[in-house]
Every structure is written in structure tokens, then in C-alpha cells.
Amino acid sequence: MSEEPFDGDRSIHDLVGVGFGPSNLALAIAIAEHNAELPPTPGTRPATAAFVERQRGFGWHRGMLLEDATMQVSFLKDLVTLRNPKSDFSFLCYLQSRDRLIDFINQKNFFPSRMEFHDYLQWAAELVDGDVTYGREVVEIRPVLRDGEVAWFDVVSADVTGDAGPLVHRARNLVLGTGLTPRLPDGVTADDRIWHTRDLLPKAERLKVEAPSAKRFVVVGAGQSAAEAVDYLHREFPQAEVNAVITRYGYSPADDSAFANRIFDPAAVDDYFAAPAQVKQMMLDYHGNTNYSVVDQELIEDLSRRVYQEKVRGEERLRLLNVSKVTEAVRLGDKVQTVVESMISGERQVLEADAVVFATGYRQPDPAALLGDFAAECRRDEAGQVVVARDYRIDLGPRVRAGVYLQGGTEHTHGISSSLLSNTSVRSAEILASVVANAEVRHPSFIG
């Protein structure tokens, strides 16, 4: 880090968001609405922000936009409603703009399809007046000193096509919203026949062309994505055998009862943040079945019916290999040699599959990956996890005035909803309020 003289002419954003998924999209909307409501007082100025996104356009879990898949959260937990029910960016305003409001109401359903909700997110991304640069990947974050303190960050991004040079945004605050990283078992590398569910649709569509007579699939996992992958492959490849490898006896239903769902309430974040470490773990253990390794009851029943009907017909294409695990998945030509081991007997069977799909979840992001050497300034707890304040700001050293906020990667401090849509609108409002409050201390003309 080097000292840099103050350049009053250089553009400095109040915040730069890394990533432009639903979380930072909600933040961009919150900023736009905050600025629109500023009083016309002399000397006030709006909050300024820029966002950098690696994808060439807005996209959210495109590989799992299955035709019949529905959202697992209410449409009321959209980008804005819990923060501002009057917002023009609500899901209901989206429906009105698409001339489907009455039709949606007549469905008597709180849970839109995943495809429709993605269209809503894309609509909001196009509608919001935000400075978003697509097709660029952040490759470096440089702390900038002033008077011996870290006052700003320079966010350096590279063009993903290589057609343009680096771009630098300077910011008083960073908001890291890079999303989750697909998790694969140790020793497994994804390719055109070994997939993570994140890439299910494009990989499967390609396989339909390259191997239309595919005979066998293996799907590893016990959660919603795994069950959806089994359902999809079983329907789309009607001649193929689909093997579901799960460590349980069968799929477990998600607990979406009214009381259990209170773990996703905004107030639950306060409770979780204030709780002792052992209580935090207890809450995760008690309520993990609201989100992790669980499946919608309707899909469980549908898959169970298919298994039984195939047994009746004597043509078992959908096979549940329960209390089992995959110990090896090796690419051999255009096949994947997959070893499935019974966790009870230790017996192994070798399945030669046309493709293996791992529904093995995602890893929470570690900000150190982006912050480089500056990550040493992040205080960590006894478990080695970043210490995060209630306003989602990382606890940094005393000589750091600039802020780093997290959109995700805070389950250990803020609870189970950290990586989900449930609190997106409220979390974004809290981050913005913190940015504005800290800016007001340093710059009295910034009124929020």
C-alpha cells in the first residue's frame, strides 16, 4: 500500500459492488430509491455506486431453470417488499408490467416458477438506474492510503473476452456479493460428462445432441437440486436408467411449517447474531431441515410413485441406491466409471454412466480470495472465520476507514438466511444505512 495525495477531481464512489446477483441488485434498487427520496436541501448529494459483474448479462442459476421447478420462498420475499411494500420494483409490479397480475392471483399460489422469478429479477436489473458493468471479472483490490489510513479501494477488473484493457473503480466501501462456489468431492473435476447441478440444463441439452441414446445417469445428493435433477433426467431421457445415490434411506421432506419458517424472519437475524456460539450451532442443527438436504414433499411423492409404478411394470429405470456413496468417478472415453459403495455392507458396484451429476451443494465465499494481501487486515474468530458486525461490515484494523461489507458468507454470524433470498431486501437496506451513516460522519454533506 502506498500513500496517495487527495485528488478532488477523481471520481470516488460511495460503494462498489463486486457481483450483480439478486443481493447486489436489491442493493442497487435500495440506493436508487434512497436517492429519489433525498430532500432538496442545499449541499446534500445522492449515494453513488457502481457494480462489476463477471457474466455478460444478468443471470441467476440459469442451469437449474427447470420448466416445472418452483421457488421455495414466497413471492413477497422479493427484492424490495419487506423493505418497501410501495416499491415500483416489487414482484407484483413486475406482474402488472407483464399483464399477468390477475392470472397470477387466480393461481392461488405464493410460489412462482423459478423461470418466472428469474424473469422478474432480469426485469428489475434492466429497470433499475444503476451503474453496472457486465462482462468483467474483478482481478485485484488495491487499498489506497490517505494520511496513513486506508481511505479507499481501487477495484481492478479485466474484460472476460480479453478485448479491452483493465478498468478501475475507486470506492469508499466494497460490497462483496460474488455468490456461492459449486462444491465437488475431492478428486472430482467437472467436464462435459461430470457435472455439478449448476450446469445441469446446458450440459444435458448438449448431451442430447452428442449422445441421444444415453443409457445411464448417476445423480449424487439428497437435497432439492438432486431430486430435481433425477426428475429432469428421468423425463428427458426416457430410455435411460437414472441412479440416485443418497446417504439416507430416501429423500427427506423440507420443514416449511409456519413456526419453523420464523428462522428466516428479519428479527431472527438479530437473535442469531446476539446468541452465544453454542446456541448458534443449536439453531443451525434444529432448523437445518428447512433448507439443507431436504426436498419438497410433492416431488418426493412423485418420484416415489414412479419407482413403484416401474416395479409394477418390471422396468426399473429410476433406481434409488440408498445408504450409499460414490467413492470414484473416473472419465473413460465418453463414459464415466462410477463406483458406488454401500455404507452398510461396504459392497461396491461399478456403474458405467453417460454422465454423473453432483448435487453436492455450494461453498460459502471467503473474502480473502478477492482481498489478496489486504485480507490480513480482517479479524478472524477462533474458528478462523471472518468477524462480521451486525451491519454486515467486516471487522478491520484501526487504520482502515474504508468499509468492506458481505452479501453472503455470513451464516456463522447472521444465520441460515445469509445465502438465501428471504432477507435480501432487508439486508441490502441495512448495508446501505451503514454506508450512509459512516459517510455522514466523514462527509457532513452526505445526508441519508
Q: What is the pLDDT of residues 120-147, one digit of tens each?
A: 999 999 999 889 999 999 999 999 999 9
Cβ-contact 394, 405 below 8 angstroms: yes
pLDDT at 3: 57
Residue 10: pLDDT band (50, 70, 90) is: low
Q: Which residues of 357-367 are buried (b: 16+ CB within 10 A; e: fewer)?
A: bbbbbbebbeb
pLDDT at 136: 97
Question: Whole-prediction pTM value?
Answer: 0.94
For residue 418, give the nearest of 188, 194, 225, 263 by alpha carbon: 263
For residue 157, give the nearest of 174, 134, 128 by alpha carbon: 134
Quick one: average pLDDT of 249-266?
93
For residue 429, give the nearest of 261, 264, 266 by alpha carbon: 266
- For residue 102, pLDDT over 90 is answered with yes
- For residue 403, pLDDT over 70 is answered with yes
Q: What is the pLDDT of residues 86-95, one digit of tens each?
A: 999 999 999 9
pLDDT at 368: 83
CA angle in degrees (0–180, nearest 5) for 223-226-231: 125
Say which residues have a Cβ less than 8 Å from residue 379's Cβ, sequence separation at least 6.
386, 387, 394, 395, 396, 397
Residue of 446 and 412 predicted with greater confidence: 412
pLDDT at 448: 36
Residue 329: pLDDT band (50, 70, 90) is: very high
Count CB atoms within 10 A of the CB of residue 29: 26
High-pLDDT (> 90) share of the chain, %: 87
CA distance 431 to 448: 13
- Give the three cell numbers for residue 285: 442443527
Residue 440: pLDDT band (50, 70, 90) is: low
CA distance 302 to 228: 11
Q: For residue 172, give Cα distances in angstroms to 13, 277, 368, 442, 448.
A: 6, 32, 19, 11, 16
pLDDT at 442: 53
CA distance 190 to 184: 8
Residue 444: pLDDT band (50, 70, 90) is: very low
- For residue 2, pLDDT over 80 is answered with no
pLDDT at 90: 98
pLDDT at 377: 94
Amino acid letter at 17? G
Quick one: average pLDDT of 149-166?
95
CA distance 51 to 39: 25
pLDDT at 42: 79
Q: What is the pLDDT of residues 177-224, one digit of tens each?
A: 998 889 999 989 999 999 999 999 999 999 999 999 999 999 999 999
Q: What is the pLDDT of residues 270-318, one digit of tens each?
A: 999 999 999 999 999 999 888 888 999 999 999 999 999 999 999 999 9
Phi, psi of 141 (to 5 degrees): -125, 120
Residue 418: pLDDT band (50, 70, 90) is: confident
For residue 413, give the nearest of 291, 283, 292, 280 by alpha carbon: 280
pLDDT at 339: 97
SS3 annotation, the chain = CCECCCCCCCCCECEEEECCCHHHHHHHHHHHHHHHCCCCCCCCCCCCEEEEECCCCCCCCHHHCCCCCECCCCCCCCCCCCCCCCCCCCHHHHHHHCCCHHHHHHCCCCCCEHHHHHHHHHHHHHHCCCCEEECEEEEEEEEEEECCEEEEEEEEEEECCCCCCCEEEEECEEEECCCCEECCCCCCCCCCCEEEHHHHHHHHHHHHHHCCCCCEEEEECCCHHHHHHHHHHHHHCCCCEEEEECCCCCCCECCCCCCHHHHHCHHHHHHHHHCCHHHHHHHHHHHHHHCCCCECHHHHHHHHHHHHHHHHHCCCCEEEECCEEEEEEEEECCEEEEEEEECCCCCEEEEEECEEEECCCEECCCCHHHHHHHHHHCCECCCCCECECCCCEECCCCCECCEEEECCCCHHHHCHHHHCCCCHHHHHHHHHHHHHHHHHHHCCCCCC
Choose the weakest-confidence range: 147-161, 222-236, 282-296, 317-331.
Answer: 282-296
Instruction: Compute the chain's Rg from CA coordinates.
Output: 24
High-pLDDT (> 70) share of the chain, %: 96
Q: For residue 239, give Cα distances in angstroms to 211, 313, 332, 338.
A: 12, 15, 22, 20
